[in-house]
A and B are shown apart, each in its own frame.
Chain A
Amino acid sequence: MKYVLKKLLTMIITLLAVSILVFFAFSLIPGNPAISRLGTEATQESIDALTHEMGLDRPVMVRFGEWVTGILRGDFGMSYSYNQPVMKLLSQKLGTTILLSLMAILLTVLLAFPLGIYMARNSDSKLDIALTTINQIIMAIPSFFSGILLTLIFGVTLKVFTPGAFVSYKTNFMGCLGYLFFPALSIALPKVTMVSKLLKDTALSEANKDYVRTAYSRGNRTKAVFYNHVLKNAMIPVITFLGMTFADIIAGSIIVEQVFSVPGMGRILLTSISGRDYPVVEAIILILAAFVVVSNLVVDLLYHKFDPRIHV
């Protein structure tokens, strides 16, 4: 319990640090956002009026305080370019990105575990060597290119899905899941290769440990030794890796959303960066940071559940 509290505290401190960094980084950028909104031809009066309306004429510290207290109430301020509250703008996109990331994680686990277990149990067989080679190649395909290849094969040639025909999960949940399958797959593919390779390698090195010999000395079958003894120990580094991958998967969704025209956080992040819509950018970064930090916490707790040697 004490451990969980300590972790929660560091989590809050990290998020606070991120919010400070993000807010001041964007506040110190030269140039008045009011000018970029009105264009260079605008009169001084209208610029002054807008600057005042946006609250940009007040001290930075005051604005930071208001921003933080607003966030605690779930209010991320107003978007510069869309003229509506950031939270309203993001709410549905947030859901889409979460759905996409969760699907990618699920696919990673569902594909990598059986694959890694198969390769470990049949190491040096012909199929294992073939799979290892394929793994190595897939690992080198960036998610945006595998996304294009998947679109080409399943969208254009086989017509399993229609590229660009995204439906919101609010109107058609199953249809949305169906459309997100291939984007999730292209995020998951490189992760699948890494996780299955790691699982195989650690399982093989665990198989040389003394406790495995003890398990055999009790009359266990090879299968029982693998599933009851080796696999459990091999899972520990795999869980650690999966935890680090979570952040990567969220970042991967930003790029892959672009490939499959999925209207999620990634797309609006890119348009807001090019449109210099700072409140939106700040909000997205903070939300993604919260994701990363919370997922790290979950992995930490899982890790402690799995490994009794580390005290909670």
Chain B
Amino acid sequence: MIGAVLTGMVVILALWGAIKTPYDPMAMDGAAKFSGISLRHPMGCDQFGRDIFSRVIVGVRETMLISASVVLIGTFFGTIIGTITGYFGGWLDEIIMRLNDAVLAFPSVLLALVIIGIFNSGKYQLILALGIAFIPSFARIVRGEVLKIRNLDYIQSVKLYGASDFRIILVHILPNLKTVLMSSVLIGFNNAVLAEAGMSYLGMGVQPPNPSLGRMLSEAQAFIFTSPLTAIFPGIIIVIMILGFSLLGDRVGKKS
């Protein structure tokens, strides 16, 4: 319940950020530098006098878009790899899964940093880097499920009737992955939000002057002695996002 409310709030903020912001998130106003909370600026202004609220809601939009793309890449390729290796098995499965396990041993942020090191930093590079880093965990989950389904009696009998492997995968296996994918997508989305915020905090994501929640935190840190509020709001929004999705994920996990 609380999870749904928090998530709803975040989605509304993101939509708001996608349609119109109260101020231009990149417009600087020298007179409003570090101004506190007011009716005109509900979250105050940053070191350049930019409206933090406008920057936060655009940041939420960016984080949501990036995280969704990351999960999409992870789910898509993870499902393909997991289904093929799980269904056909053999030496291909052995090799890919060994590689998969080796990659899984590394935290996704570290892996993404390496990939960013190769491709350079930036929004699309970040999506690519995190997307690749997310594939192994999805592949592993899907593979486990496919292995289970493949050995069910009815799949065996469908095989006896002469159905092709392609048809079995498409008609009988993929639809059965829905429940597993549902909860792992939610958990994955949560991890993606966390990873995106972490990467952009490190300066490896969305590039300035475009707003991003993580970057706003790292910039605000330089002024922590004089104007701590600049850091608080973006941080709280990140916490609300993660909390909402994790509560929602827990509920879906319990139901299935």
Contacts and interface: CB of A to CB of B under 8 A. Distances in A.
B156 interface: no
A90 to B, nearest CB: 16
Contact of A144 (B102, B201, B225): B201
A162 to B, nearest CB: 11
B117 interface: yes
A296 B214 CA distance: 31
Nearest to B220: A148
B102 A259 contact: no
Contact of A255 (B105, B109, B238, B239): B109
B102 A18 contact: yes
Given A148-B221, A148-B231, A152-B228, A26 B106 contact: no
A156 B225 contact: yes
Contact of B107 (A26, A137, A140, A251): A251
Contacts of B240: 140
A148 B217 CA distance: 8
Interface stretch (B36-44, B172-180, B241-249): B241-249
Interface in A243-287: 247-248, 250-252, 254-255, 258-259, 269-270, 273-274, 281, 285
B163 interface: no
B79 interface: no
B218 A152 contact: no
Contacts of B102: 14, 17-18
Interface residues of B, number: 37
B198 A144 contact: yes
Contact of B116 (A26, A273, A285, A293): A273
B202 A255 contact: yes
B203 A144 contact: no
A182 B106 CA distance: 25
A289 B110 CA distance: 10
Contacts of B242: 140-142
B4 interface: no
Give the interface SS of chain A, mostly helix, strand, loop or mixed.
helix
B201 A247 contact: no
A145 B239 contact: yes
A26 B117 CA distance: 8
B194 interface: yes
Contact of A247 (B105, B204, B217, B228): B105
Interface in B202-235: 202-204, 214, 217-218, 220-221, 224-225, 228, 231, 235
B121 A274 contact: yes
Contacts of B105: 14, 247, 292-293, 296
A9 to B, nearest CB: 13
A251 B110 contact: yes
A196 interface: no
B113 A273 contact: yes
Contacts of A296: 105
30 contacts: A17-B102, A18-B102, A29-B118, A136-B243, A136-B246, A140-B239, A141-B235, A141-B242, A142-B197, A142-B242, A144-B201, A144-B217, A145-B235, A149-B235, A152-B228, A156-B225, A163-B224, A251-B109, A254-B109, A255-B198, A255-B201, A255-B202, A258-B202, A259-B221, A269-B113, A273-B116, A273-B117, A288-B110, A292-B106, A293-B105
Given A140-B246, A152-B228, A156-B228, 15 more contacts: A17-B99, A137-B239, A144-B197, A144-B218, A145-B217, A145-B235, A145-B238, A247-B105, A250-B107, A255-B109, A258-B218, A270-B203, A273-B117, A285-B110, A293-B105
Interface of A: 14, 17-18, 22, 25-26, 29, 136-137, 139-142, 144-145, 148-149, 151-152, 156, 163, 247-248, 250-252, 254-255, 258-259, 269-270, 273-274, 281, 285, 288-289, 292-293, 296
Q: Lowest 6 CB-CB distances: which A-B pairs, in order?
A: A251-B107, A140-B243, A145-B235, A140-B242, A273-B117, A251-B110
